[in-house]
A and B are shown apart, each in its own frame.
Chain A
Amino acid sequence: MAFYNQMLLLNTKDLIEKSKSGDRKAQQQLYKRLSAPMMGVCLRYMKSQQDAEDVLLEAFYKVFKNLNRFTYENDNAFFGWVKRIMVNEALMKLRRNKEIQILSINEDLDKEIDVSPLSQLQTNDLLKLIRSIPVGYRTVFNLYEVEGYSHQEISEQLGVSVGTSKSQLFKAKKLLREMLDEKKEDYGS
């Protein structure tokens, strides 16, 4: 127990160093610190809870396997590195399961849709809302709006054209906006 308390006091850098040398307790502590936010990342992409857990497990395995290659700079960089592994693993699983079905949409893409009110939602509501839209829209929305990928990067990751990526994002935003307005109406009434 005393050992666990000692581990809790360790900073991320020390935990990473200990984890690199194969210290299982340090790895567990590192996992405990990151599991919830990373589960959130997985849930944003995956349809079911089970799939999200599978992605989380596989991605954490890769994190510990490749930890020796990571050079610690700061906590944010480490978090970003782990998150990127989670996102890549989620995309890989979606591709494997052939869940991403992206169709090109002919709509007026120049029309701007404001989704900033989304950030005013409670985190669990926001997560629920994002998970409720179709996989194709959701994936592009997550990659562009949350992860900060460019359309070029999305097109390379998903194997679609830049135009398709843009149209998917447009459709996702439109859908989210409609749902948000609906929600507001519900609250209003």
Chain B
Amino acid sequence: MAHNQLAEKLDQVSEQELGFEFDDAEVWTKLEHRLDNRKAYTFWWVAAACLLVGFIFLPLSILKETTLEKSTTITQVEKTEKSLPGNEEVKIADANSIQKEKTVAINFPGLRKKGLEPPETIEISSQKLLLEPIAVSKPKKKYKPAFAAEDISVIQASLEGPSIEKRKSITVRAQLQSFPDQVKSNQKVLKIKLYEKH
């Protein structure tokens, strides 16, 4: 314990030899209070640490899941052939063609109100919808008009229906085209193109 006489003597000092009245009970009361506080502090520290870990790792795990979902292989999803709601009728014009043209008869009450004759048939180009990974930037396709238009009205609207994938919206661009050189001069063709909205 003590390496010399001096140390031995000093280490074995009794309460009476301290030279003053040492109130060890008072020190113990303070010590006990500190030890009790430590228990309470430990609980709160543990709780706070758990919360902190939760706050750190929860967003990370969510982010990881999202990244995994997005980095999965490209899946091709074909639009299912379903009838449009209401009085709309869809016919496949040429099933063998690459563009998959569809002929659709649609009532457009808005056009009638404007004094325009609704078309008897419309052509919808059916495209395959591709799910692409976000990182890959796909060059935008430019659709050239396949006709020369003189009087063109452009109608823009968003469609949501059973033929469209969930969480996907498609912009419809309709162009009303008139052909003055044709026999039936009052006949007009409305061409509608679907654009996948990004």
Contact = CB atoms under 8 A, between A and B. Distances in A.
B35 A40 contact: no
B52 interface: no
Nearest to A119: B5
Interface of A is mostly: helix
Contact of B14 (A32, A36, A76): A36
Contact of A123 (B17, B20, B30): B17
Contacts of A123: 9-10, 12-14, 17
B28 interface: yes
A36 B5 CA distance: 19
A72 interface: no
B1 A40 contact: no
A35 interface: yes
Nearest to A76: B1
Nearest to A123: B17
B35 A32 contact: no
Contacts of B34: 57, 61
Contacts of A147: 7
Interface residues of B, number: 28
A79 B11 CA distance: 10
Contacts of A80: 1
A100 interface: no
Q: Which 7 A-B pairs have the closest CB atoms?
A: A40-B13, A119-B5, A148-B3, A36-B15, A35-B24, A76-B1, A123-B17
Given A40-B10, A145-B6, 18 more contacts: A37-B11, A37-B13, A39-B13, A40-B11, A40-B13, A40-B18, A41-B10, A43-B18, A43-B19, A76-B1, A83-B11, A116-B5, A119-B5, A119-B9, A123-B12, A126-B9, A146-B2, A148-B4
